[in-house]
Structure 1
Amino acid sequence: MMLFLSNFKSTVLLWFLVLATCGNDTKVVANNSPTQDEPKIKVQEKEIVVAANRTKAYLPLLKDKKIAIVANQTSVIFKPDGYTHLVDSLLSLDVDIKQVFAPEHGFRGNFDAGEHVKNSTDTKTGLELISLHGKNRKPTQEQLEGLDLILFDIQDVGVRFYTYISTLQLVMEACAEKGIPVLVLDRPNPNGHYIDGPTMEAEHTSFLGMTQIPLVYGMTIGEYANMINGEMWLEGDKKADLTVIPLEHWSHDRFYSLPIRPSPNLPNDTSITLYPSLGLFEGTNINAGRGTEYQFQRYGASFLDSTAYDFSYTPKPNFGSKYPKEEGKLCYGKDLSNTKRMNQMTMEYIIDAYTHSVDKSKFFLTSGFTKHAGNDRLQKQIEAGATNAEIKASWQGDIEKFKKIRAKYLLY
């Protein structure tokens, strides 16, 4: 009898603690494969806080300084009812912003991929907009004259040929030469949960890849900035005077849905998870959804074997793609718009398209493909009929070497 009462009291006490905990922002989840007698309790994940929202952490660094901001449409401070642009918010706080540097796609994010953007004036704020995707991709010493600090805040997607990390490196390089500090406000990497793809080779570096990293490198833009500095990747082995304001409540395995499209042709989570794999089509004559409302969620071409596919579409000029590949032509290919979050990139799509190309001489844009891939081997492997598994096995050694370097700079 005493043993029964003892067990009963223990059980009541345990459930009292569980119920009390449930009223404190936690929830009880079912244990589908119980190994203990106690119920499982899972603490709810806290809301991710981007660095731009952590104003108390960086406003003191801007006090009494003349600054420039590297920004685009993703550079925002989130609020319960929406968001405000970082530039607008800082101006309202009397931060002395002298000018804005704009990356590829422009300050408002409405230019095509690769399209040159001219310097202009922002109609809302009256600030000078200096394009880093026009006459120069690196700020000139004259453009930095009189500045005390450069603030960098752009949402990245963690793919090497997505050019915002190249802009970051060139900004850091220019500031290191001029002796101007750089402040990076960190944001989550939606593809930050894995590392994959071919590693850039030194002889093939370009604005589509300036450092010897894998195609998917698994780092936030703040972590990557630290790696640029730590690995001495700036011209002349210089180091920037760098400060990174970190995120709160984010980890590399935590999913993050981008609330604002980071560029015109990445409209949603599906396009972003497929971008590492379908982005290689940029170095071919295959259309990867540009000129449709499903950018980087499908692929096709008029010269693919129509009998091999039950899906077709016709690209037409639209927002973000004035002159899409295969414009006005019926393209045969695959619809990938139901793809779930991926944990690796795949070569299956590009192998499939090459295999079913009735005119393989039209397939590769060799120079462009090499710049996207980072080497000239990948094209040869595809042409030789290598499988997805064989190709991926060939780059694993480089990935393991990179992981050891990457580990030194992880913040999360």
Structure 2
Amino acid sequence: MAVRTGAERLTGEPGLVVDGRLGLITNFTGVLPDLRPTSVALLDAGMHLTALFGPEHGLRGTAQAGASESEGVDPDTGLPVFDTYLRQGRALDDLFSGMDALLFDIQDIGTRFYTYVWTMYDCQQAAARLGKPFIVLDRPNPLGGVRVEGPLLQPGFESFVGRAPIPLRHGLTVGELALQLGEATVVAMEGWTRSSVETGLPWVPPSPNMPTPDTALVYPGTGLFEGTNLSEGRGTTRPFETIGAPYLDDRFVPALQACELPGVIFRRTWFEPVFSKYAGQAVSGVQLHVVDRSAYEPVRTALVMLRVLNELYPDDFSLLPSLDRLWGSDSLRKALEAGDDPLELLPAATTPAGWAKPGVLLYEGTAG
């Protein structure tokens, strides 16, 4: 049975949400199973959409990381398009002042430092200040809803890659996260359980460097390499599955293989990024090949990779200030600088029920 998203349900049952002037926070991932934009389908269903609001990368997804598109008019609907990226507080309040309610329909990938959930959070906070309903059209977590990995974000390390204390791999859907983070109404999915991986839904790459479900699976771990002087594979066809730097040699892959990490094997590779770190330079590196999705632990795998790099290349390997924001505290940076084993930072394995507030989990399955 294919999963029915919140957006698909709402197009068939417009009465599920309040009537009035509706603003839709969405992008190119906000589509129905036939790939019609949610905005078009809601208008066809007779709903009173009056404006669209885009996140990082823009409504159409042409902008790279750290950028968004210019505002204008959406040619599919004729609606005005406004940019929410990096807007907070009064700037968002003013943007939403003409709406009676806000809808959110964007595909997340289950990792704390992926920014779409923080766009949701900022808009949700604005809706609360304005006294307007905030409605999430729920979508699957492509990593499933069973496993949680990594620590909670610590106070003092809030940023646009983490505004609230949730785990690095959080195990919730966007609707469940909205309930965890504040007040919201969720149009829940049908047919999705916590152990769901195959959904029957088309994969729309949620950002320019998230091309496949394989990328999403490794991202909770290898996304941390953005906080190092290694290329995380941006500017290649396999971002986040391919990691490298000019100084890596033939010792790196054998050292990783000797660690016998579950569910993954490593292949030495060479690449030349077309943008971002080491653009135009020949880079030696490694490609992660996940051979057992159920056994693979992306965060543990990345911490072992960082430990091995620290041991093999002490004069070349370095950390960037952004690592603290990605990890959610300075503990990983300090452990690596001290030569300690970063695996000691991992909390005990848990499930979403082990950290989320009571009443947040909307779907059945192995929740702990």
Q: TM-score range by the shorter chain?
A: 0.7 to 0.9
Would the aligned equivalents of 2:11 and 2:45 in 1 still touch at CA under 8 Å?
Answer: no
Which secondary structure state, in structure 1, belongs to the residue aligned with residue 32 of structure 2?
strand
Instruction: Report the AA paired with residue 213 of structure 1.
Output: I
Equivalenced residue count is 342
Hey, what does 2:330 align to over in structure 1? 376
Decide whether aligned partners of structure 1 residues 244 and 62 sit closer, same or farther in structure 2, where only a CA change above 3 A counts.
closer
Would the aligned equivalents of 1:369 and 1:379 in 2 still touch at CA under 8 Å?
Answer: yes
User: Which structure would you say has the larger Rg?
Assistant: 1
Determine the C-alpha separation between the residues in 1 that align with 2:357 and 2:18.
33
Unaligned runs of 5+ in 2: 254-266, 364-368
Q: Deviations over 1:205-262 (max 9, x none)?
A: 1111111111111111101111112xxxxxxxxxx4x210111111111214661111
Structure 1 residue corresponding to 2:42, chosen from 86, 90, 95: 90
Moved more, 136-145 or 157-166: 136-145
Structure with greater contact order relative to length (CA < 8 Å, sep ≥ 6): 2
Identity of paired residues, percent? 31
Hey, what does 1:411 align to over in structure 2? 362
1:2-151 superposed matches below 5 A: 46-55=1-10, 58-61=13-16, 64-78=19-33, 82-133=34-85, 136-137=87-88, 140-151=92-103
Determine the C-alpha separation between the residues in 2 that align with 1:338 and 1:161.
21
Instruction: Report the AA paired with residue 47 of structure 1.
Output: A
TM-score (norm. length: structure 2) = 0.85
Which secondary structure state, in structure 1, belongs to the residue aligned with residue 121 of structure 2?
helix
Which secondary structure state, in structure 1, belongs to the residue aligned with residue 284 of structure 2?
strand
Q: Deviations over 1:141-183 (max 9, x none)?
A: 2221221111101111111100111111111110111111111
Determine the C-alpha separation between the residues in 1 that align with 2:49 and 2:351.
42
Structure 2 residue corresponding to 1:359, chosen from 315, 327, 340: 315
Would the aligned equivalents of 1:158 and 1:189 in 2 still touch at CA under 8 Å?
Answer: yes
Determine the C-alpha separation between the residues in 1 that align with 2:358 and 2:19.
36
Determine the C-alpha separation between the residues in 2 that align with 1:316 and 1:358.
24
Hey, what does 1:215 align to over in structure 2? 168
Hey, what does 1:311 align to over in structure 2? 268
Moved more, 63-72 or 307-316: 307-316
Determine the C-alpha separation between the residues in 2 that align with 1:263 and 1:341.
22
How big is the shift at 1:313? 2.4
Instruction: Report the AA paired with residue 219 of structure 2.
Output: Y
Would the aligned equivalents of 1:312 and 1:330 in 2 still touch at CA under 8 Å?
Answer: no
Instruction: Report the AA paired with residue 316 of structure 1.
Output: P
Unaligned runs of 5+ in 1: 1-45, 230-239, 318-322
How big is the shift at 1:195? 0.6
How big is the shift at 1:388? 5.3
TM-score (norm. length: structure 1) = 0.77
Which secondary structure state, in structure 2, belongs to the residue aligned with residue 76 of structure 1?
coil
Q: Deviations over 1:359-392 (max 9, x none)?
A: 34x52112x0000000101112123333354232
What is the aligned-residue RMSD (CA, Å)?
2.4
Would the aligned equivalents of 1:187 and 1:247 in 2 still touch at CA under 8 Å?
Answer: yes
